[in-house]
Amino acid sequence: MKRCVIIGGANIENYDLIRGRFQEDDYVIFCDGGLRHRKPLGIEPDLIVGDFDSYSNPELPVETIVLPCEKDDTDTVYAVKEAIKRGYEEFLLIGVIGQRLDHTLGNVSILLYLDAQDLKGQIVDDYSEMEIVSDKPVIVNDSYAYFSLLNISGTAEGISIKGAKYPLENGSISCEYQYGVSNEVLPGEEAEITVKNGKLLLIKIF
């Protein structure tokens, strides 16, 4: 399955880490301010999307969609929708977690948007990987220092965590009480996470 990588304008400190996440056949969309990461990453765009309020249009010989500044969708959300129209079913978002909490939360919600359409989405920043756990089991290996499960959508029920320091059976996590922070995979084990009803945000810490 060919993957779409969308690059936003949030800070990236560990370019080596992020660069190692690219695959040769990725379809790459740079969103506005994300273009400042083009040279440090050594990656060229297949598509550029943006209103160019935070970065000047580089006028590259690449397909470019210029958006109005006043709109409902952020540049990143527009890029995701455009990629879905073009048939992509797997997404990696980078440069989308930063100092602007409003943009960060909005970008995390993109994972819910993708999951609702049975599409695969992941966010990677300098410190972690993020994805949604819903109707399919998710495995976490012991290469991560910690993992956390946060509810960002109602109440999740029937939660099971196996192979972890803090196991759980048929639990529930609400938005009001987030007790699923900083769990650990047991050494040499794999943690299996399942959710019967609802969705959880899985954050795996490097």
Report the run of H or E that residue 63 belongs to, with start and end: strand 63-66
Per-residue pLDDT at 53? 85
Shared domain check, 110 and 17:
yes
Cα(5)–Cα(38) distance, integer angstroms: 13
Per-residue pLDDT at 56? 87
Total domains present in the chain: 2
Per-residue pLDDT at 161? 98
Per-residue pLDDT at 1? 73
Report the run of H or E that residue 114 belongs to, with start and end: helix 101-116
Q: Which of 101, 126, 151 is the last residue of a domain?
A: 126
Q: Which of 104, 126, 148 is the last residue of a domain?
A: 126
Task: Look at strands 90-94 and 3-7 and give their pairing.
Answer: parallel
Q: What is the DSSP letter of 145?
A: S
Check pLDDT > 90 for residue 54.
no
Six token digits for residue 185: 């995979």
Which residues span the domain enclosing 173? 133-205
Q: What is the mean pLDDT of residues 117-131?
A: 97
Shared domain check, 13 and 111:
yes
HSE-CB at 65 with a 13 A cutoff on CA atoms is 15
77-92 pLDDT, tens digit each: 999 999 999 999 999 9
Report the run of H or E that residue 177 belongs to, with start and end: none
Q: In what order do the strands lie in the sheet with 138-141?
A: 138-141, 190-194, 155-162, 168-174
> Per-residue confidence at 122, pLDDT binned at 50, 70, 90?
very high
Per-residue pLDDT at 185? 98
For position 197, which CATH number holds? Answer: 2.60.120.320
This model's pTM is above 0.75: yes
Shared domain check, 83 and 68:
yes
Six token digits for residue 6: 């969308």
For position 67, which CATH number holds? Answer: 3.40.50.10240
Shared domain check, 82 and 138:
no
- Token pair 């999740």 is found at 156
Q: Could you tell me which residues are beta bridge partners of residue 28?
A: 5
Q: What is the mean pLDDT of residues 49-69?
A: 91
Six token digits for residue 112: 């819910």
Shared domain check, 192 and 92:
no
151-182 pLDDT, tens digit each: 998 889 999 999 999 999 999 999 999 999 99
Shared domain check, 116 and 21:
yes
Shared domain check, 186 and 89:
no
Per-residue pLDDT at 47? 98
Contact present, 9 and 33 (Cβ < 8 Å): yes
Shared domain check, 169 and 121:
no
The more confidently predicted of residues 58 and 199 is 199
Per-residue pLDDT at 55? 86
Cα(80)–Cα(91) distance, integer angstroms: 8
Per-residue pLDDT at 26? 97
Cα(1)–Cα(59) distance, integer angstroms: 30
Shared domain check, 121 and 42:
yes
